[in-house]
Amino acid sequence: MNRLLPIFMKLENQPCIVVGGGKIAYQKIKQLLEGEADITVKSPAISEEIRSLPVTIQKTAYQKNDVDGYKLVIAATDDVNVNRQVYEDAQQYGIPVNVVDQPELCSFYMGSVFQDGDVKVAVSTNGKCPSFGKFIRDHIKNMSKGVWGKALEKLALQRVKIINSISSYSQKKQVMEKLVNSTKNNFIPKQVKRGKVFIVGAGPGDPELITVKGLQAIQNADVILHDALVHPHLVFEINPNAEKIFVGKREGKHSVSQATIQSL
């Protein structure tokens, strides 16, 4: 279970240090710059990408207690001994620390972040699979389609008027919830997708003989139309969440008409 406390930290003009000068360090620095932090980068080797950023560069190896005086620490080196030293020093000074790809040496994680204006969503996988966090972030981005930030701006203006005109907190909350619900159709992009139909010839034989493409079609289906001959495993166990509709035909006995099947 994920017991992490989600917190959005104010780092504007706050001193932060990134130990490391490679590609991973660059990615972390970019995230810190979004919060307008005052960043120091310490490493014997600094990439050209990092040199081009508005950061303070210390082209020296990390020494014990170099984290003293900083508000936040990130270690992004390929030296496990340096990473552990950074972690231990940060713990000693009570400074939040993140050691990249070493969850056991982190007091906080940097999640996958989606941002649209003042809307910011951070996804945590508890350090177990950052790639899945990025997948979820991209899914949220596709849902927003650049609309949510603008919607928030409009709602914020209306919220100011509501706050100034209503004294009761509970009433303010109620009015705002009604406002959001009444206008949500304006900021939830309409997604109209054209459906696809796959005809999978499974037959009454061994279900393990089904083709790979046929199996994938069943796994990804939202609705499965099936007859009485197909093996139950293929219909009910491969994709238990899909809607199942029986359209089987026997001589003189049709469960549904052909016209109904075509309309489905």
Query: Using one digit for the tens of pLDDT, what is the confidence trace for 16-51?
Result: 999 999 999 999 999 999 999 999 999 999 999 999
**Contact yes or no for 255/249 (Cβ under 8 A):** yes
Which among 120, 227, 244, 253 is annotated as catalytic? Answer: 227
- Please check whether residue 200 is in contact with residue 229, taking contact to mean a CB–CB distance below 8 angstroms: no
State pLDDT tens for residues 94-110: 999 999 999 999 999 98
DSSP 8-state class, residue 255: S
| Residue ending a domain, choose from 62, 86, 110 | 110
Q: What confidence tens digit (pLDDT) does each residue in 207-249 have?
A: 778 888 888 888 888 888 888 788 887 877 778 878 888 887 7
Query: How many angstroms separate the CA atoms of 49 and 47, rounded?
Result: 5
DSSP 203: -
pLDDT at 97: 98
pLDDT, tens digit (0-9, with 9 covering 90-100), for 42-51: 999 999 999 9
Task: Mark whether 57 and 89 lie in a shared domain.
Answer: yes
pLDDT at 256 over 70: no
Same domain, 54 and 152: no
Write down the pLDDT at residue 49.
96
Annotated active-site residue 161? The verdict is no
In a domain, 223, yes or no: yes
In a domain, 143, yes or no: no
CATH number at 17 reads 3.40.50.720
* pLDDT score, position 246: 83
Q: Is residue 75 over pLDDT 70? A: yes
Considering the domain boundaries, does residue 35 fall inside one?
yes
Is 103 domain-assigned?
Answer: yes
Is 83 domain-assigned? yes
The gap from C-alpha 140 to its chain's centroid, in whole angstroms, comes to: 7
Mode of pairing for the β-strands spanning 97-99 and 72-75: parallel
Residues 78 and 164 reside in one and the same domain? no
User: Any catalytic annotation for residue 30?
Assistant: no
Please give the model's pTM, rounded to 2 decimal places.
0.66
pLDDT for 122-168, tens place per residue? 999 988 888 899 999 998 888 888 889 999 999 999 999 999 999 89
Counting the structural domains of the chain, the total is: 3
Domain of 237 in residue numbering reads as 207-263
Question: When comparing pLDDT for 55 and 201, which is higher?
Answer: 55
Q: What is the pLDDT of residue 230?
A: 84
- Rounded distance between C-alpha atoms, residue 220 and residue 242, angstroms: 8
5 and 67 fall within a common domain: yes
Q: Are the beta carbons of 86 and 40 closer than 8 angstroms?
A: no
Q: Which two tokens stand for residue 244?
A: 């199942």
Which residue among the candidates 150, 213, 249, 253 is catalytic per the annotation? Answer: 249
Give me 8's structure tokens. 């959005």
